[in-house]
């Protein structure tokens, strides 16, 4: 795969992304919303059929066990989570069920997931949905384009039920498709025939970092408090009732005015600088203030960019720091705003 071609597919067309590393948990039963309401940081009880949200699952100390997306499909909740955590989370949630009408299953092997991202993603997905009646493709495309983030719809594609999830997980707008595992290859081929371009992980990683989207297991871990990663506006409801870890979150927000010792920031290095490696130290003057979590060369910005944690004294955009001797500047995230036209001529 050619990196530039892949990147342009995501920015200018419709890139088809392998999402096989994701896990999928189904939560069914009459009490499914109220059950997850007490476990997750966002307002699950407020979900209605066809909607969804981003949330975190926390320890009592407010640290992250996982982040996830929760989609209300009508008959159940579809939880999209890091694939390495799906089995343990499903087992843990099942242990907490007592008298509630809740059934939890890890469906990561019986289903598959792929993403279609970029400005032409709605057209490509609509063409696959309307494979047997292309006259309907236009109206389906309009429906897809109108979906808000985390909305979901289900269609039958050649006898297989396909859930289409509105997504910006990689820093580019598009859709994730959850399909039966045995239909994965056929639907993937249909996406390609309809104009989708298969892209590799390297291009996806560039778009993710340009979009300022922290990834659990890379930029977030079991030691991370959501406020440190800057995901509170997406992941945390301030109006819902109790959930695990809420006391710590509220204490920091109300008593500490949201101040945490460290924060995830964007860092832009000089054009031509070597892309820093994860773990490289960030310094301010003669003081070690943090470290890099992920970094890439940005085609749009024409320079290396990175995500990393720095001490709260150094989070203001424009602050000059160094990364293992390389000059860097703190930038407001995202580097490339979602949905904005992208000029692929490198800037200097």
Strand order in the sheet with 152-157: 152-157, 160-167, 174-180, 111-117, 15-18, 197-198
Q: For residue 34, what pLDDT band results from cuts at 50, 70 and 90?
A: very high
Residue 339, pLDDT score: 66
Residue 344 has pLDDT above 50, yes or no: no
Residue 283, pLDDT score: 98
88 Cβ contact partners less than 8 Å away, ≥ 6 residues apart? none
Residue 299 has pLDDT above 60, yes or no: yes
Kindly tell me the burial class for residue 97, based on how many C-beta atoms sit within 10 Å of its own C-beta (0-12, 13-18, 19 or more).
middle
Q: State how beta strands 76-82 and 22-28 pair.
A: antiparallel
Lowest mean pLDDT among 35-49, 130-144, 232-246, 334-348: 334-348
The predicted model gives 115-140 an average pLDDT of 93
Separation between Cα atoms, residue 14 and residue 195, nearest integer Å = 7
pLDDT digits (tens, 9 = 90+) for 73-93: 999 999 999 999 999 999 999
Residue 343, pLDDT score: 44
Separation between Cα atoms, residue 115 and residue 43, nearest integer Å = 25
Instruction: Give yes or no for a cis peptide into 334 (omega within 30° of 0).
Output: yes
Q: Comparing 344 with 122, which gets the higher pLDDT? A: 122
Percentage of the chain exceeding pLDDT 70: 97
Residue 225 has pLDDT above 90, yes or no: yes
Which residue ranges form the domains of the chain, and what is each CATH number? 1-248 (3.30.1360.120), 261-331 (2.40.30.110)
Among 297, 150, 118, 278, CA closest to 214: 278
Separation between Cα atoms, residue 230 and residue 244, nearest integer Å = 19
User: What pTM was estimated for this model as a whole?
Assistant: 0.95
Q: For residue 15, what pLDDT band results from cuts at 50, 70 and 90?
A: very high
Residue 346, pLDDT score: 39
CB neighbours (10 Å) of residue 103?
14
């Amino acid at each position: 795969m050619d990196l530039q071609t892949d990147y342009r597919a995501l920015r200018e067309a419709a890139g088809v992304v392998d999402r096989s590393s994701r896990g999928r948990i189904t939560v069914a039963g009459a009490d499914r919303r109220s059950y997850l309401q007490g476990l997750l940081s966002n307002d699950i009880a407020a979900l209605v059929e066809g909607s969804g949200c981003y949330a975190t699952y926390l320890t009592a100390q407010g640290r992250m066990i996982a982040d996830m997306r929760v989609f209300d499909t009508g008959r159940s909740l579809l939880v999209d989570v890091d694939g390495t955590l799906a089995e343990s989370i499903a087992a843990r949630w099942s242990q907490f069920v007592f008298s509630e009408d809740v059934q939890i299953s890890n469906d990561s092997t019986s289903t598959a997931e792929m993403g279609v991202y970029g400005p032409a993603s709605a057209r490509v997905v609509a063409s696959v949905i309307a494979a047997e009646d292309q006259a309907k493709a236009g109206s389906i495309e309009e429906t897809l384009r109108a979906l808000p983030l985390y909305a979901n719809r289900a269609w039958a594609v050649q006898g297989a039920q396909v859930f289409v999830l509105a997504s910006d997980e990689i820093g580019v707008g598009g859709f994730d498709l959850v399909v039966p595992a045995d239909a994965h290859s056929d639907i993937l081929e249909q996406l390609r025939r309809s104009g989708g371009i298969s892209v590799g992980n390297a291009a996806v990683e560039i778009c993710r970092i340009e979009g300022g989207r922290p990834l659990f297991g890379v930029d977030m871990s079991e030691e991370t408090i959501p406020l440190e990663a800057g995901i509170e506006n997406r992941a945390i409801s301030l109006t819902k009732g109790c959930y695990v870890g809420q006391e710590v979150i509220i204490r920091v927000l109300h008593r500490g005015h949201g101040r945490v010792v460290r924060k995830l920031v964007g860092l832009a290095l000089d054009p031509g600088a070597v892309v820093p490696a994860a773990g490289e130290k960030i310094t301010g003057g003669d003081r070690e203030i943090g470290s890099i979590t992920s970094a890439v060369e940005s085609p749009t910005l024409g320079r290396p960019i990175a995500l990393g944690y720095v001490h709260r004294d150094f989070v203001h955009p424009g602050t000059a720091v160094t990364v293992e001797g390389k000059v860097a500047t703190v930038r407001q995230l995202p580097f490339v705003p979602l949905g904005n036209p992208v000029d692929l001529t490198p800037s200097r």
